[in-house]
Amino acid sequence: MVERDIYFDAKGRPYFPTGFDIKKAERIMGNYVRCFTNSCFTFAEIAALLILQGTGYDGGTSAYHLCFVLGVDGGDRATLKRWKARVKP
């Protein structure tokens, strides 16, 4: 996998807004799962609601791709145990 695959789809459209900071998104997700250990949200919902909200990229494709970049499955429930067990691609 190359960097272009992470940030652009097959048609060349970006998954994330210009200047998007992956490290900052990782910190936001980590802080959320540490503070709300009994969350009923999935990782993709948190990505869409907290990280990508208001950017115009808060749809499912960008949220699930952000989860892929962070090493978690977007459909899994956001728990600290799953966050700690993530595998970075």
- Per the CB < 8 A criterion, the answer to whether 66 and 16 are in contact is yes
User: Does a structural domain hold residue 11?
Assistant: no
Query: pTM here?
Result: 0.85
**Backbone dihedral region for residue 79 (phi beyond 0: left; psi -120 to 50: alpha; all else: beta):** beta
pLDDT in tens, 23-82: 999 999 999 999 998 889 999 999 999 999 988 888 888 999 999 999 999 999 999 999
Q: Domain range for residue 50?
A: 20-84
Would 77 be classed as within a structural domain? yes
* Beta carbons within 8 Å of 83's beta carbon, 6+ residues apart: 29, 30, 33, 72
Residue 50 falls inside a structural domain: yes
pLDDT at residue 25 in the model? 92
